[in-house]
Amino acid sequence: MKYEFRVVEFSPDVMQIRKVYLDEMGNPIRIDPDSIDLSAETLEELVAMVLHASASLTKSALDVNMFVKHDVNDAAKIAAAILRGDSVR
């Protein structure tokens, strides 16, 4: 499966570079749940990885909510209501 590194915005003050998987048309469809690991066995591999990751800074940031079925912020509000004991429909 094809992928590229992209900046993903998790909240207004949290952004990360993540591996984003693409469909056949090049559209982002899935995000790697783990942050990227910038380690390699050789300097050449590391340079290639850093350049690939740096290229993500030239593209628009992706909102994390495009990768989940429900808005993360709405889910957080529902979880907080449940913890408070509020009724949730």
Residues 7, 59 contacting (CB under 8 angstroms): yes
Q: Is residue 71 part of a domain?
A: yes
Question: Which pLDDT score is estimated for 70?
Answer: 53
Alpha helix segments (H runs only) across 10-71: 43-55
Is the whole-model pTM more than 0.85? no
Q: How many domains does the chain have?
A: 1
Would you say residue 24 lies in a domain? yes
β-bridge partners, 54:
none
Its sign, for the CA torsion 62, 65, 68, 73, is: positive
The parent domain of residue 30 ranges over 3-84
Is residue 79 one of the residues assigned to a domain? Answer: yes
Residue 36 pLDDT more than 90?
no
Put the strands of the sheet holding 14-22 in their side by side order.
Answer: 28-31, 14-22, 3-11, 62-63
- Does any domain span residue 89? no
- The confidence band for 52, taking pLDDT boundaries of 50, 70 and 90, is very high
Specify the pLDDT at position 83: 72
In whole angstroms, give the CA distance from residue 84 to residue 75.
Answer: 14
pLDDT at 50: 95
pLDDT band at 12 (very low <50, low <70, confident <90, very high): confident
